[in-house]
Structure 1
């Protein structure tokens, strides 16, 4: 969960579990109980967004089997035991009811990329969103987008989904042609990322109410993979990592956090505070930039890297990196989990499951591309 900084903090307690919460929070961080009467606006708007026709693209690259590539696809396997989920929505092995598609959905437009978005254990609803696209040939071109709705604002689940889809569509269409120089391509894709964020911000404004206790908001992180080139950008504290397979040497052979958070924690790190202290201190998850009506700045930080080794490009929300922030540790985790799985989708599911096993205090989004 990310939070937008506010004025002086006046504490209160959750009526469900008694945990201390901030006045602006819509849901309790500990038990997920609703704290504000947000009505049915979020559900109504989400339905409208989910049914919106895909934007027509001049160069579509999505390889999706469904007629509607934006249909939220629920998990085919039970999250409790791995059994098959029946047509009635219950596991045919253990009888557990499967979550709704918005609480847990998957995306896999090509065999070498995948995304999983999950409500987590503690939250009342899933305010994360993913939107990905890919060409079918492994390592060719992919777009990975993750947005994390700010839990202190109603309708942030709607904001995140609208922003992620709009940004993906812009990045899919903005494909440099006839530029063999990686630096030139990286520059044009970085410009496209800025445009994608601006369009995503417009999508947030168009799909969420003007009035309310606080404006809907979300973070943004994205990676565009073109062969060995990865161009990335972010607003807020969702992240992009490069996690190479172990055993390599030279540039690009070490795990790396590519993006740089817009957060109070990152500001403290810049002042010399060690990462663990900064990321666990007061207001650590207060973000300094976000998408939404009251955002001070929606220009993303961007960058690029050339990958010279096999590995994973990972875009994720803080629901994952909360439990494994350091790139080296995260690379070790991915290495241990990938030993037991055979596809990006299985690895994404394993990472989400791992985060929930650590406590699942937040929504969890994982988008992966295999290089």
Structure 2
């Protein structure tokens, strides 16, 4: 019988980064057993559109990328993909006002960035990509455009009694088996839980996504969007479980609480959590 042995690496203050911008909160943490943080996140707000352009007057974009640990320099790939993806999303959104076009542009830019060889080794890493574009609308609603490659996730968590939802579909062997009819808790599904079928970077297709990788939904607030790496959802796989932590109006406190829960549950992977409020929360 094989025995899984994990080692807790001593933690320091540098093991966690936090940021808050315009009501968005992002926390990324090394976790307990990984030697480095291979996740990356980027967030931006479009608050004004130059004359002559057609973008929305206000929009939020958040990107989360999880480096594939079995690749070379995954932390380089994830950081490059997150930054390039966000920049392209905001540029296209400002010039065209089309969130679907902006998301596909962000995916393409992230894919190119992740595939660039790291100068020291000449090798490229791999990563996942999950992003949301949030454009507030009338009546406390928002148009939310989601893009996804890999197994990081986005969730819409409206205040009860509305139903919490996972907005993304994992690009994984487990998800393919479930879609084919396998039981979610079957041995085959559990064994394939983190075997990716799509990713960005090394050995990936130039455009490793389908048209269905991008879609837009309407979120009727109050509630929050959560974008996260599998370091969180490994411990809270159901949308309703994540919502239990989203009862306050302080989104940074929510992101911290979710991250701390993952650490207290084992912290077997890097953890990244972004929290975006829609029309506030009822507390």
- What TM-score comes out, normalization by structure 1 length? 0.65
Deviation of the 1:277 alpha carbon: 3.6
C-alpha change, 1:334 and 1:173, in structure 2 (3 Å) is same
Q: Which one of the candidate residues 247, 255, 267 is aligned to 2:176? A: 267
Of the structure 1 ranges 196-205 and 295-304, higher mean CA displacement relative to structure 2 is found in: 295-304
**Which consecutive segments of 4 or more residues in structure 1 shift more than 6 A?**
none
Alignment check: 8 A CA contact 1:266 1:278 kept = no
What stretches of structure 2 of length at least 5 have no aligned partner? 49-56, 137-141, 279-283
Matches for 1:141-156 after TM superposition, within 5 Å: 141-156=59-74
Match of 1:345 in 2: 252
Q: Which one of the candidate residues 234, 240, 257 is aligned to 2:166? A: 257
Q: Number of matched residues?
A: 262
Is structure 2 residue 143 aligned with structure 1 residue 229?
yes
Of the structure 1 ranges 128-137 and 222-231, higher mean CA displacement relative to structure 2 is found in: 128-137
Deviation of the 1:133 alpha carbon: 1.1
Match of 2:281 in 1: none
C-alpha change, 1:97 and 1:196, in structure 2 (3 Å) is closer
Alignment check: 8 A CA contact 1:269 1:278 kept = no
Alignment check: 8 A CA contact 1:265 1:278 kept = no
Matches for 1:321-332 after TM superposition, within 5 Å: 321-331=233-243
Per-residue CA deviations over 1:194-236 (Å, capped at 9, x if unaligned) read: 2111111211233525967x84100000000001100001000
RMSD: 2.8
Match of 1:361 in 2: 268
Of the two, which has the highest radius of gyration?
A: 1
Q: Which one of the candidate residues 21, 43, 51 is aligned to 1:109? A: 21
Matches for 1:1-371 after TM superposition, within 5 Å: 19=4, 30-31=6-7, 98-100=12-14, 103-110=15-22, 112-134=23-45, 140-175=58-93, 188-206=98-116, 208=118, 215-227=124-136, 228-247=142-161, 253-277=162-186, 281-296=190-205, 297-299=207-209, 301-331=213-243, 333-335=244-246, 338-339=247-248, 342-371=249-278
Q: State the distance in 2 between where 1:159 and 1:177 align.
A: 27
What stretches of structure 1 of length at least 5 have no aligned partner? 1-12, 21-29, 34-95, 179-184, 248-252
Deviation of the 1:327 alpha carbon: 1.6
Deviation of the 1:309 alpha carbon: 2.4
Q: Which has the higher strand share?
A: 2
Deviation of the 1:273 alpha carbon: 2.1
